[in-house]
Amino acid sequence: MAVTAAVGDVVEDFELLDETGTPRKLNELLENGPVVLFFYPAAMTSGCTLESCRFRDLAAEFAALKATPVGISRDAVPRQKRFADTYGLGYPLLSDPDGVVARSLGARRSYAVGPFLTRRVTFVIDVDRRILEVIHNEASMEIHADRALEVLRARAS
């Protein structure tokens, strides 16, 4: 099954716990600007660490565009906290243990690839909750942050 959410779709508001156990709503995250919602298969794994650290390393560029990266996976809150603290990520990591949000956007697989049910896919979401871009690449971890910045820069100009 392919990713089902597409450019132009409106993302429904949702609420999940972040790495500190604090409930976070999409609408609240969008109050300061666009959100780059990136799904990753599992915290503390090599590919997901590379991807997440790329978002961390580009934090100033996202901030300049008033955009917030937000990671999301099936990992429980304590594992998300360990991931955020170990790598100093500095942005919210949301826990979607039942895959409810992943399923709503088509980021959840109908079958596991190894132990992973979540696809590596990124949604650039504008303040009106419309999807500006869908980045789906399972092999190139850094492309997600880089392409999201391209889309956000185009939006700003």
DSSP letter string over 61-78?
HHHHTT-EEEEEES--HH
Would you tell me how many other CB atoms lie within 10 Å of the CB of residue 115?
A: 9
Catalytic choice (11, 37, 48, 101): 48
Q: Could you confirm whether 53 is annotated as catalytic?
A: no
**CA-based torsion, 95, 98, 104, 110: positive or negative:** positive
The tokens 């156990």 sit on which residue?
A: 21
Q: Is residue 109 helix, strand or coil?
A: strand
Specify whether the CB–CB gap between 56 and 22 falls below 8 A.
no
List residues with catalytic annotation. Answer: 48
